[in-house]
């Protein structure tokens, strides 16, 4: 069975060891991928569809229409891109520049701030391969990778053997979960699950800092100090520790300072080093953040003006729509009509939408112009950035019947 491995773009883990069997131009069997990945990989191989006003149209006519909408807009919004290749993302940035557009991705209401702090080198980080080879203490904090990234624990963070971890997880690794509920990941952590009240993270962080610094750890919700000290001791004994930070933790914090401080203090007090990795959901959200950062110094929420990028919360998708500051939307690989609050969706429905997506979605159905594009990793190749910053390149499995996001973006740009 060894040989032809493909990459799954089903989540930010970008598993690169997937084998498939084909039948009649479609993926018929998938080995080693999780259920999410299998569904994703069997999705590919549809016929190309372009629509204008909900009716089938020639691609050229749809491109023409899309270009017209964007040309007529004073301040178009370009949004999504978390499930596009690096190549498509770079094209979209170029297009945004040319259009003086507002550009944002889902990270502005997701883990964007953490990726930004990471790129600004505000904390120590490492790769998932480092964790597999060396990690002895891993903390899943406000994150439930067992649900969101099913192979996280089996491929990297807990169960596999690695170069310096030859004896297995029972003996050599300690997995810890800190969460407000007993998630599937927490269940696997057994007695190392620390349940805290909603919003209790900042206090818990400060108490842990006290604990590792030899002070009595206290919280207003009276978390047993003995348990906190036990945890502090595990962390102090770590040779290679990693905090996997999820949305649950981010949403509970007013600022990132406490968690950055904790990583710092742990690096001082623990036996070895400590790291933090944001558990990014979409397969290439980190890629978008890095590509935009390289271009503008910001990870999301920008507005271009004569080639210069302005940045601020008012340029986030949510705020821009709320303020009715944008007058057309080009949405790539995202379904905001299904995921954003109703009050914001209302404003989005008032402006013309161009949707580029492998799947038909609520957004694509309401769009003025829709292009169904290739599923990356299945119908087209490219590269993406894994949640830990490692670039992963991939080849297509099938011959595509549909254009890629990048091709559509290029054609729209040419038609402007």
Partner 1 sequence: MTSTMELYQLLPKTNCKECGKNSCMAFAAALMARELTPDDCPPMKNDPKYKENYETVSGMFSTTEGATETGLIVHEELCFGCGNCVVACPVNVANDPYGVGSGKAPKSTGKLILIIEDGIVKAQNVDECRRFGKNKILCTGCIVTCPVEAIEFV
Window 75 to 94, contacts with partner 1 (CB under 8 A): none
240-245 β-sheet, strand order = 193-195, 174-179, 137-141, 240-245, 273-278
Choices 109-117, 149-157, 253-261, 394-402; region in contact with ligand SF4 by CB under 6 A: 149-157
Positive or negative, the CA dihedral 338, 339, 343, 344 is negative
Q: Closest by alpha carbon to 224, among 242, 211, 238?
A: 211
Tokens of 75: 């301040």
Are the CB atoms for 392 and 14 separated by under 8 Å?
yes
Say which entry of partner 1, ligand SF4, none residue 109 contacts (CB below 5 to 8 A, set by partner kind): none
Tokens of 291: 């590509």
Task: State which residue has the least CB distance to ligand SF4.
Answer: 10
Q: Which of 7, 11, 34, 380 binds partner 1 (CB under 8 A)?
A: 34
Determine, following the binding rule CB under 6 A, whether residue 26 of this chain makes contact with ligand SF4.
no
Of the two residues 8 and 266, which places its CB atom closer to ligand SF4 in the complex? Answer: 8
Determine, following the binding rule CB under 8 A, whether residue 146 of this chain makes contact with partner 1.
yes
Q: Which of 80, 112, 135, 150 binds ligand SF4 (CB under 6 A)?
A: 150
Determine, following the binding rule CB under 6 A, whether residue 34 of this chain makes contact with ligand SF4.
yes
Task: List the beta bridge partners of residue 178.
Answer: 141, 194
Q: Which of 91, 134, 149, 402 binds ligand SF4 (CB under 6 A)?
A: 149
Closest distance between ligand SF4 and the C-beta of residue 398, in Å? 17
Determine, following the binding rule CB under 8 A, whether residue 39 of this chain makes contact with partner 1.
yes
- x/- binding map, residues 155-174, to partner 1, per CB under 8 A? xx-xxxxx-----xx-----
**Rounded-to-10 torsion of CA 256, 258, 264, 265:** -170
Say which entry of ligand SF4, partner 1, none residue 11 contacts (CB below 5 to 8 A, set by partner kind): ligand SF4
Closest distance between ligand SF4 and the C-beta of residue 89, in Å? 18
In whole angstroms, what is the distance from residue 90 CA to residue 68 CA? Answer: 22
Of the two residues 31 and 221, which places its CB atom closer to partner 1 in the complex? Answer: 31
In whole angstroms, what is the distance from residue 61 CA to residue 66 CA? Answer: 9
Reading phi first (left if > 0) and then psi (alpha if -120 to 50, else beta), residue 54 is in: left
Tokens of 391: 């670039």
Positive or negative, the CA dihedral 229, 232, 237, 242 is positive
Q: Closest by alpha carbon to 138, among 154, 111, 157, 161?
A: 157
Are the CB atoms for 9 and 40 separated by under 8 Å?
yes
Kindly state the DSSP code that residue 337 receives in the 8-state scheme: H
- x/- binding map, residues 79-118, to ligand SF4, per CB under 6 A? ----------------------------------------
Closest distance between ligand SF4 and the C-beta of residue 284, in Å? 12
Return the residue matching tokens 């952590």.
189
Say which entry of partner 1, ligand SF4, none residue 39 contacts (CB below 5 to 8 A, set by partner kind): partner 1
Closest distance between ligand SF4 and the C-beta of residue 21, in Å? 16
Maximum distance among all alpha carbons in the chain?
A: 70
Determine, following the binding rule CB under 6 A, whether residue 377 of this chain makes contact with ligand SF4.
no
Are the CB atoms for 208 and 235 separated by under 8 Å?
yes
Determine, following the binding rule CB under 8 A, whether residue 282 of this chain makes contact with partner 1.
no
In whole angstroms, what is the distance from residue 389 CA to residue 402 CA? Answer: 29
Determine, following the binding rule CB under 6 A, whether residue 245 of this chain makes contact with ligand SF4.
no
Of the two residues 160 and 272, which places its CB atom closer to partner 1 in the complex? Answer: 160
Half-sphere exposure of residue 140: CA atoms within 13 angstroms, side-chain side: 32
Of the two residues 150 and 246, which places its CB atom closer to ligand SF4 in the complex? Answer: 150
Write phi, then psi, for 356 (nearest 5 degrees). Answer: -120, 115
Choices 7-15, 107-115, 287-295, 355-363; region in contact with ligand SF4 by CB under 6 A: 7-15
Q: Which residues bind partner 1 (CB under 8 A)?
A: 1-2, 5, 17-19, 29-39, 132, 146, 150-151, 153-156, 158-162, 168-169, 184-185, 187-188, 190
Q: Which residues bind ligand SF4 (CB under 6 A)?
A: 8, 10-11, 13-15, 33-34, 36-37, 149-151
């Amino acid at each position: 069975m060894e040989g032809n491995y493909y990459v799954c773009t089903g989540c930010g883990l970008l598993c690169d060891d997937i084998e498939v069997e084909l039948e009649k131009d479609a993926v018929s069997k998938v080995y080693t991928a999780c259920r999410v990945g299998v569904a994703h990989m069997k999705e590919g191989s549809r016929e190309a569809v372009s629509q204008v006003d909900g009716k089938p149209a020639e691609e050229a006519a749809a491109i023409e229409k899309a270009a017209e909408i964007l040309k007529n807009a004073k301040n178009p919004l370009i949004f999504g891109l978390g499930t596009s290749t690096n190549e498509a993302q770079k094209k979209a940035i170029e297009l945004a520049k040319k259009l003086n557009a507002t550009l944002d991705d889902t990270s502005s209401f997701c883990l964007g701030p953490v990726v930004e702090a990471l790129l600004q080198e505000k904390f120590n980080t490492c790769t998932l391969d480092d964790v597999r080879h060396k990690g002895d203490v891993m903390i899943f904090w406000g994150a439930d990778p067992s649900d969101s990234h099913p192979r996280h624990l089996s491929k990297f963070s807990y169960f596999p053997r690695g170069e310096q971890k030859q004896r297995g997880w029972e003996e050599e690794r300690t997995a810890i979960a800190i969460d407000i509920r007993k998630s599937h990941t927490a269940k696997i952590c057994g007695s190392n699950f620390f349940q805290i009240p909603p919003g209790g993270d900042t206090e818990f962080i400060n108490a842990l800092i006290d604990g590792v610094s030899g002070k009595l750890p206290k919280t207003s919700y009276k978390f047993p100090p003995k348990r906190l000290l036990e945890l502090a001791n595990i962390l102090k004994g770590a040779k290679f520790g990693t905090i996997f930070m999820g949305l649950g933790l981010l949403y509970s914090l007013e600022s990132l300072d406490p968690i950055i401080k904790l990583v710092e203090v742990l690096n001082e007090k623990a036996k070895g080093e400590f790291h933090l990795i944001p558990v990014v959901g979409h397969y290439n959200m980190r890629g978008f953040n890095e590509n935009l950062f390289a271009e503008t110094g910001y990870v999301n929420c920008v507005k271009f003006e004569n080639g210069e990028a302005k940045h601020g919360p008012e340029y986030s998708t949510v705020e821009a729509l709320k303020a009715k500051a944008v007058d057309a939307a080009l949405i790539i690989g995202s379904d905001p009509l299904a995921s954003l609050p109703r009050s914001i969706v209302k404003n989005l429905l008032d402006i013309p939408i161009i949707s580029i997506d492998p799947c038909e979605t609520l957004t694509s159905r309401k769009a003025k112009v829709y292009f169904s594009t290739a599923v990356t990793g299945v119908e087209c190749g490219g590269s993406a950035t894994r949640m830990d910053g490692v670039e992963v390149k991939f080849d297509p499995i099938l011959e595509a019947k549909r254009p890629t996001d990048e091709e559509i973006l290029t054609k729209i740009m040419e038609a402007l």
